[in-house]
Chains A and B, each alone.
Chain A
Amino acid sequence: ETGVTQTPRHLVMGMTNKKSLKCEQHLGHNAMYWYKQSAKKPLELMFVYSLEERVENNSVPSRFSPECPNSSHLFLHLHTLQPEDSALYLCASSQDGAGGGEEQYFGPGTRLTVT
């Protein structure tokens, strides 16, 4: 595997379910990100991790819970979601996340539908 991978690619869950999204980067980067892409809205940054520490939480509801066990893996744990949480969830990574105009490398996303 190369680049940034995400699993599953598609997920349908009920509002009472608990599920997790997984992201893995094979680029040796130290920073990882979760973004939400909804129809007709700009991409929204949700969380930033740098060296496995959460450095940004962009006012995301607590029903979204991130986890970064090491610099290569990032999870997004989901519970009691709402239908408006249906969206494409994108994971990205960058070298350090510390500024300087770093390129972010994106995974293909997980298409989440909440029923």
Chain B
Amino acid sequence: AQSVTQLDSQVPVFEEAPVELRCNYSSSVSVYLFWYVQYPNQGLQLLLKYLSGSTLVKGINGFEAEFNKSQTSFHLRKPSVHISDTAEYFCAVSVLTQGGSEKLVFGKGTKLTVNP
């Protein structure tokens, strides 16, 4: 079964510092990978996704992620974070169910806290 592991449950950083949020997945087939962000009291919002092609994917709010097939990783990075980036970040892999529909399998999330 496909699964997603987010190695850090909490990541504190200072404003304007770089950050990397780690994500590893397990899959024996081609994958579609996603990063979603959840701000307090809100639903999830797509940051970026990898479907195919270039392994470096750029998303909204200055985030980017690199797909590494050999290491089965899809780490999220930002070169300089802002206070407003404080949120929970979820990595997800898309899988097809037995019923033929598509569903997302999520990691447990990483809480990013940006301190002044």
Contact = CB atoms under 8 A, between A and B. Distances in A.
A43 interface: yes
B104 interface: yes
Contact of B109 (A42, A101, A104): A42
Nearest to B51: A101
A97 interface: yes
Interface stretch (B20-28, B42-50, B62-70, B75-83): B42-50
A74 interface: no
A31 B101 contact: yes
A61 interface: no
A103 to B, nearest CB: 5
B97 interface: yes
A10 to B, nearest CB: 10
A108 B41 contact: yes
Interface of B: 4, 32, 34, 36, 41-46, 49, 51, 90, 94, 96-97, 99-109
A56 B101 contact: yes
A56 B97 contact: yes
Contacts of B41: 108
Contacts, number: 74
B51 A55 contact: no
Contacts of A99: 94, 96, 100-102
Nearest to A99: B102
B109 A4 contact: no
A94 interface: yes
A99 B97 CA distance: 10
A56 B102 CA distance: 10
Nearest to B90: A43
Contacts of B100: 55, 98-99
Contact of A98 (B4, B101, B106): B101
